[in-house]
Chain A
């Protein structure tokens, strides 16, 4: 790779493989089931839909600050990062291999609309298999770190998978949620959620909101090297799942349910949660938002 990298490279604009190449120690990535092996979806051809040689996800091992890590990176350009049978099984294999080989961490560079509807049933089962394999990895004391900053966000079942991890990093242009705004608008009308109101979409699902309420641990700028630094900081971010930790989580989520009563908009919720300068958040940059976070919410 050329040594004349520009100062800032947008994480959002990188492909999955570009993210891997720039985020991990130079030249350290070794891919499993690479495109040359053509482990592809068996279902798309029947639908007359082009398949990808990697089914939209790259997995393998790499070094991060000289630590040995396992990596999965979803390619948003292929079917929105949707999880099909093979794509999901590659991620399951990644976590099962982590359980066996015990790397220092597993990093998931998530970019996905969730279940790939072209393989609906197989995709749904696959996402739930990813969850169980991820939780097995955590239970073995291997941290799972999720990075979110792709243009397609992290939605549907992958939005749940992300919240099953130990540590989440999101950029201010990243999005983390369950149902996409278009789906909600189609279901309950434009009055419920205007999917073309970009400011509303980002206030509801975007990185600043997810960081402020504590759904993500780090809020970063859209810069691959900043993501890299955040990932290095997260390497030992074990957050064991115990009865006590889940009771604590339950208390946090219950408090939020009450704080959100009557909240029409994210700004109302932030105010209700005691976040200072809530009204000014939409115009703030990531650095300014980082200063507002109430650690008690995390």
Chain B
């Protein structure tokens, strides 16, 4: 789905979310409350500069609008794969974005991420994956890498990986697999407003993903291992 359609369905035509290239930012009103919006579009690669632009919105929201909810619109092909970004320290810029979102949560801002098109690994590990909730549209795509590339790296055939991915959500792309593993909290069905309302109301402020993964049968060991460490 296009971000403009998501925005219109959620906020009507009165929202003030604007695209500047691949960067999205602005504000809107939802259920009578102001909400800050930040994100990306056109499968943006998240580089050093784009991570900083997103962080700036989060910092300004904390500074100027204490407690205002923050909504992350996620569409990314992953981190920018350029030497210049590595030279500048893209990992530090990503960490900075993650620390800003983390601070917002600690200061009482609800932070909700929505994968509305596609999300890959480094592109959302310090945005949606560090929010109170990372939700997704059912038709969105979430993955670390495609099966052909995974086959090259792991030296396993695509047939083997495709077969395994049917029985084990660890291997294959897909929002359903992320849902089963707890990485995605919930999928928003036709009524997007109901999805956002549910996220703002019910998303936990602590990290429940390992527990969700166990309860949903997609990631059975993570929570158990944490418990074992605490008991050791």
Contact present for B229 and A93 (CB under 8 Å): yes
* C-alpha gap A118/B145 in the complex (Å): 11
The reply on A85 being an interface residue by CB < 8 A is: yes
A 150-188 binary contact with B (CB < 8 Å = 1; else 0): 000000110111111000000000001111010110011
**Chain B residues with a Cβ closer than 8 Å to the other chain, count:** 74
Contact present for B125 and A160 (CB under 8 Å): yes
Partner of B62, one of A159, A176, A243, A253: A243
B39-96: which have CB < 8 Å to A?
Answer: 48-49, 52, 55-56, 59, 62-63, 79, 81-96
* C-alpha gap A213/B86 in the complex (Å): 13
* C-alpha gap A200/B35 in the complex (Å): 45
The reply on A52 being an interface residue by CB < 8 A is: no
Contact present for B228 and A33 (CB under 8 Å): yes
A88 and chain B: residue at smallest CB distance: B222
Contacts across chains A and B counted by CB atoms under 8 Å: 237
A190 CB to closest chain B CB, in angstroms? 11
The reply on B210 being an interface residue by CB < 8 A is: yes
Q: Which of A121, A122, A246, A260 has the most CB of B within 10 A?
A: A121
Instruction: Bin chain A's interface residue count.
Output: 35 or more
Given known pairs A117-B144, A129-B210, the reply for A59 and B229 (CB within 8 Å) is yes
What are 19 inter-chain pairs, A to B, with CB distance below 8 A? A33-B228, A43-B168, A85-B170, A89-B223, A89-B226, A93-B230, A96-B226, A97-B229, A124-B125, A125-B219, A128-B129, A131-B102, A163-B94, A179-B86, A187-B81, A192-B83, A193-B86, A253-B96, A260-B87
- In the A-B complex, list the 7 residue pairs whose CB atoms are closest, starting with the nearest: A93-B229, A163-B95, A89-B225, A120-B144, A159-B91, A32-B232, A128-B129
Q: A46-B164, A117-B154, A164-B99 are in contact. List 12 more A-B contacts (CB 8 A).
A: A85-B219, A89-B223, A120-B143, A121-B143, A124-B144, A129-B222, A160-B98, A183-B81, A246-B59, A250-B96, A257-B48, A269-B87
